[in-house]
Structure 1
Amino acid sequence: MTHAERVCHNAASRSRDGIAAFARWVAAVSEPLPAPESPGPPASQDERDLSLYADRLARPVIAKTAELQLNGRLRHVIFSGQFSAATLDDLAETANQIRVLSKHRAGQDFLRNLLSHRRAMLYFTQPSTRTFLSFMAACQILGLTCNEVRDPQTSSETKGETRFDSIRMFSSYFDLIIMRSPIARLAESCAYLMNDLSVHGQRSVPIINAGSGADEHPTQALLDVYTLQRTFAREEPADTPLGASPGFRPGVAFGSASNGLAGKTYGFCGDIGRGRTVRSLAMLLAEYPGNRLVFVTPDHDKLRMRDDLRRRLADRNVTVLEVDSLEAQIDGVPAIEAFDALYMTRVQKEHDTPEDAESFAAIDYSAYRLTPALVARMKAHAPILHPFPRDQHFGEIPPEIDADPRAMYFRQARNGMWIRAALLAHVLDADGAIARHFHHTYREQHEYSS
């Protein structure tokens, strides 16, 4: 092949190679591009707001409590873990003093004037009956002026105002914000907002968590403990059959109730995983030595105890048992016969998703309902508590049990008014004045009658 022929051949080869490469490029760019990964739904305004405090929210509760206090006292009330056994006893004592003073006109007048110069905002954007009315009654007992926002649709939030801006506006007009929200950790974030304002010399007020998503309900746990304290300080008259008694009366504690709240077996039955009242009360009972907590719930991911609560109780060295029936054996006896107190809860259907329906339908819920026959087997001193509302359709506690002297749930609700009044007095630094007035009044009465 001559030189000229080789040049032509190489040129033709390069041309064919170029055409082939061009064809491959055309084919490549003609193929549809893979669909981009879905970014997921955009973050809500609430999620964006809470992200401002993400680092602080992620800490364990024990690392947060110090900044929720001021001068050694509760400043914001966000977690049940803020209450030590000593604080619980102090609040119970204040509640007892308030309820005694409230029995007489002079005492009522003193209490109503105590905080008549202060104002409270009840910011309840989640449905509530007992908690709302209980806090309102507590404010009225102490003379606090109350205002409320119960529907965000009637507020500037419909115009795009963030919840944090709403809270800051409330803090301009009120001395205390009591808030209940379906948004987990919102109350905690608002407490940090108030602290940050205080650091910069701006107006800041206490935040009280009246229920925050599925997180906690610390003031419900507070009234639960107060009810247990009062119940275990009562006795059944020895000469009166339990069934015929109109109820417990004050006196010397009896049976295994003699150690107060310590050294007992507490049962929790129902929706443990989604029940914030259970979480909060369990952590308070962990403050007392020797307690054993028994959780009775279906073996379902959404209903049984969550891992975070299990870890927190383990960190406190609390004995925890998880069983699937009130008849399950504990130390050789059915659980229902071992309890020193039983905390019943409803199944919280409002949290159900369509995907839950099939798995929930397979659960035999009869194992999580009280009956008169089961109650008859309980210890004579064992109170039955329920955070309410109870579900008339589910029937976790049928009405025929209400007359049993161990059924404490209506007293429990009334106790909430007194212990929440004590909490407000503590946060607003008025509990000392109550104690002084109480002791002065009843010392004078004692001296007069002696």
Structure 2
Amino acid sequence: MTTMAQLRERSLLGLKELSRNEIESILDRAAYWESHSDKMVPVLNSKFVANMFFENSTRTRFSFEMAEKRLGAQVLNFTAAASSVEKGESIYDTVRTLESMGIDAGVIRLKPAGVLQELAPHVSVPLINAGDGNNEHPTQALLDLYTMRKQFGSLQGLNVSIIGDILHSRVARSDLWALQKFGANVRFCAPESMQAPELAEHASYVSIDEAMNADVVMMLRVQLERHATGMLKSNDEYRAQYGLTRERAAKLAKHTLIMHPAPVNRNVEIDDEIVECPQSAIFNQMSNGVPVRMSVLERAMK
């Protein structure tokens, strides 16, 4: 019988509390899966995994599903819009229902932060955080680190600038916690209305010109719906002040890697022609997400 300690070790709720060694082992195993010549290796062919997305996502869900199927797992896809959650069933009840049906792991994406951490001790299967509110997005950060490590060989001493809506970004938080464990230097750049003051003690806020002087420039997605709150005055103004324009990109060091968690608002966060320029790793990040998630899923269920 699986103990709570073992469940906690196999779950992936966030990277803030995960050790450097544990993160490194996940990245090393991802490298193994990336190098594997067979498209499908059914090491999880007797396992059932439920993708429970209580918040819309296309890239993350498809990436998990591709990873699950490459490992031979049986996949159940659950979306809240087509479920009884819309009729008032709680997230807890939904997860417990799928658990009682015999799933071996759950991949969960939620809007509210912290709910997943409260839920995990009451469930007897490992849970994988696919993004919860503005708390964490651990597998995105893992694929980010994996992409950087492939490019530079080591994360030690890397200067990483994260630019955009830090306040609402779970990606920025997971990347911050993970990168600092490896000795990388993280800096933020954001409009004042998009800064997270509680993170200032962990990473300094710098100007856009200072942020461009880095080994990695990571542009965050601007949620255009925040126009309604007055947080953004216009796409054009954001691009001019905080976007990776062609003029800014031309001044980057030749080795600087351009990253973005996607989806990209072209000509807002990044000018169109920069998205697929030689220094951009955006589509490589998406490719790397599959072996990274294979590693996380294998860790959860083997």
Tell me if TM exceeds 0.5. yes
> Is 1:70–2:6 an aligned residue pair?
yes
Q: CA deviation at 1:347?
A: 1.9
Q: CA deviation at 1:161?
A: 2.5
Match of 1:294 in 2: 187
RMSD: 2.2
Match of 1:261 in 2: 155
Q: CA deviation at 1:68?
A: 7.5
> Is 1:387–2:261 an aligned residue pair?
yes
Q: 1:349 to 1:395 in 2, by over 3 A?
A: closer
2-side partners of 1:159 and 1:378: how far apart? 51
Deviations 1:80-135 (A, max 9, x none): 1133222222112211111222x24xxx45x12x1100000000121101100000
Match of 2:30 in 1: 95
Q: Structure 2: which 5+ residue stretches go unaligned?
A: none
Q: CA deviation at 1:390?
A: 1.1
Deviations 1:234-273 (A, max 9, x none): xxxxxxxxxxxxxxxxxxxxxxxxxx11112111111111
Deviations 1:409-439 (A, max 9, x none): 100011001100011111223xxxxxxxxxx
> Is 1:166–2:86 an aligned residue pair?
no
Task: Spell out the pairing of 1:127-166 with structure 2 (5 A cutoff).
Answer: 127-150=56-79, 152-166=80-94
Match of 1:305 in 2: 196
Q: 1:341 to 1:68 in 2, by over 3 A?
A: farther
Q: Secondary structure at the match of 1:126?
A: coil
Q: Secondary structure at the match of 1:389?
A: coil
Match of 1:211 in 2: 131
Q: Is the 8 A contact 2:52 2:109 kept in 1?
A: yes
Match of 2:247 in 1: 373
Q: Secondary structure at the match of 2:150?
A: helix
> Is 1:86–2:14 an aligned residue pair?
no
Q: CA deviation at 1:339?
A: 0.3
Equivalent position amino acid for 1:129 in 2: T
2-side partners of 1:263 and 1:82: how far apart? 21
Q: Secondary structure at the match of 2:112?
A: coil
Q: Is the 8 A contact 1:190 1:207 kept in 2?
A: no
Q: Is the 8 A contact 2:47 2:301 kept in 1?
A: no
Q: Is the 8 A contact 1:369 1:396 kept in 2?
A: yes
Equivalent position amino acid for 1:420 in 2: R
Identity of aligned residues (%): 30
Match of 1:24 in 2: none
Q: 1:400 to 1:82 in 2, by over 3 A?
A: same
Q: Secondary structure at the match of 2:195?
A: coil
Q: Is the 8 A contact 1:227 1:411 kept in 2?
A: yes
2-side partners of 1:271 and 1:342: how far apart? 14
Match of 2:204 in 1: 321
> Is 1:180–2:109 an aligned residue pair?
yes
Which structure's CA Rg is the greater one? 1
Match of 1:279 in 2: 173
Q: Is the 8 A contact 1:68 1:77 kept in 2?
A: no
Equivalent position amino acid for 1:321 in 2: S
Equivalent position amino acid for 2:177 in 1: M
Q: Of Structure 1 and Structure 2, which has the larger fraction of its residues in helix?
A: 1
Q: Is the 8 A contact 2:27 2:142 kept in 1?
A: no
**Paired residue total:** 297
2-side partners of 1:368 and 1:124: how far apart? 31
1-side partners of 2:251 and 2:88: how far apart? 56
1-side partners of 2:220 and 2:12: how far apart? 24
Q: Secondary structure at the match of 1:286?
A: helix
Q: Is the 8 A contact 2:50 2:76 kept in 1?
A: yes
2-side partners of 1:68 and 1:282: how far apart? 28
2-side partners of 1:136 and 1:232: how far apart? 29
2-side partners of 1:168 and 1:270: how far apart? 37
Match of 1:122 in 2: 51
Q: Is the 8 A contact 2:11 2:126 kept in 1?
A: yes
Q: Is the 8 A contact 1:295 1:305 kept in 2?
A: no
Equivalent position amino acid for 1:154 in 2: A
1-side partners of 2:250 and 2:87: how far apart? 56
> Is 1:230–2:150 an aligned residue pair?
yes
Q: Secondary structure at the match of 1:327?
A: helix
Equivalent position amino acid for 1:130 in 2: R
Q: 1:376 to 1:68 in 2, by over 3 A?
A: farther
Q: Secondary structure at the match of 1:179?
A: strand
1-side partners of 2:56 and 2:86: how far apart? 18
Q: Is the 8 A contact 2:227 2:233 kept in 1?
A: no
Q: Structure 1: which 5+ residue stretches go unaligned?
A: 1-66, 195-203, 234-259, 314-319, 329-334, 430-450
The higher relative CO (CA closer than 8 Å, separation ≥ 6) is in 2
